[in-house]
Amino acid sequence: MGKEIGLNRKCIFPLCVSISDYPSYSSSNINIHPNAGWQQYGITVAGGNQQGKKVNQLSYPCGLYVDHDQTMYVADTLNHRIIEWKWNATSGQVVVGETGQGSGDNQLNYPRDVIIDKERDSLIICDRGNRRVVRWPRRNGTSGETIISNICCWDLTMDENGSLYVVDEVKNEVRRYRRGESEGTVVAGGNGYGNRLDQLSRPQYVFVDRDHSVYVSDCNNRRVMKWMEGAKQGVVLADSQGQGNGLTKLCSPAGVAVDELGTVYVVDCVNARIMRLSKGGTEGSVIVGGNADYAIGVISKVIDECMFKWIVTRINKSLDRRKRQGSSFIGILDTTDFEIFQLNSFEPLYINYTNEKL
């Protein structure tokens, strides 16, 4: 732990950016300067000991959630486990998946993402290989409960009412599950694979604001869309016709987050960078990365709880619930060196994102 890391080295692309995990919605009273600067180097806070199964190692971590006390929960995908990592710890603790890969109630199969349901004090896990979403007690849990079946879960988040939003990459939709619901309601996409405004094409990451508008990274259409609550079609916020690395280009957009000014933060994964798109603007700016030789990734969600009127933790969105003066952090899950590291910033915005190998 503690070594400096930058995004200009080879890392498997940053895919997802998001600003909150519980719930993911915009800040009600925090102003983030539209030209806030971000340092490009960070320190390792988890992993970094090569690929492996030991509790101080990670193997293609895909999802990251940071609790109010800075405890990190990592979907350690190729180890088929969820590992808890205390702040400043040199190793983690396996909290789900100690018995290895499988389909049993006490097993996971390529878990993709993890969040915390604070009201029920439980973990909610995208158990992608088993095509299910699982609820697991946080305290001394020995088995999980399947709460959603037959779903190709890529990403999930929760709003302040406890409604769960799940991205189904195969059905090209985002579905909302209110507490007690088993079927849920489509809130974005759901009209087949395509590029119409009522369609999605390989959606990946979702962000939900306090008005319950849903923001989706529509990967294969190279666009970011906003679906207002109850809308039958979305609005394109950022779009790219053709590939490239110009400031108007997105190539495989992934994680997405929105601040209270309406600024959109999106991971441009093939270009290995995080883009900031001002509300109403036609051109973005690069806040992190943009000079990697090769990359593939995922920004997972979490923004710090102190930024919101409600309780929020992603990905970004979140590395510290306590207010910090003049600094904030970006947490990166890097699958090349199998570690998590943080970047310092000058504004009170916390974004956590992960890199994954596709």
What values do phi and psi take at 305, rounded to 5? -60, -35
pLDDT grade, residue 88 (50/70/90)?
confident
Q: Report yes or no: 230 and 262 within 8 Å, Cβ to Cβ.
A: no
With a cut of 90, say whether residue 124 has pLDDT above it.
yes
pLDDT grade, residue 200 (50/70/90)?
very high
Q: Report yes or no: 81 and 70 within 8 Å, Cβ to Cβ.
A: no
How buried is residue 100: exposed, middle or buried, by Cβ count under 10 Å (0-12/13-18/19+)? middle
Q: What domain range includes position 137?
A: 61-292
Q: Which residue from 95, 137, 96 is spatially nearest to 116, judged by alpha carbons?
A: 137
- Residue 87 maps to a domain: yes
- Residue 247 maps to a domain: yes
- Residue 196 maps to a domain: yes
- Residue 175 maps to a domain: yes
Query: Residue 13: its pLDDT value, please?
Result: 42
In the DSSP assignment, the letter for residue 301 is: B
- Residue 226 maps to a domain: yes
Model confidence, pTM: 0.76
How far, in Å, CA of 129 to CA of 219, rounded? Answer: 21
CATH number for the domain harbouring residue 90 = 2.120.10.30
Split into its structural domains, the chain has a count of 1
Query: Residue 287: its pLDDT value, please?
Result: 77
pLDDT tens digits, 21-61:
434 433 334 566 777 777 666 677 888 888 889 999 988 88
- Residue 82 maps to a domain: yes
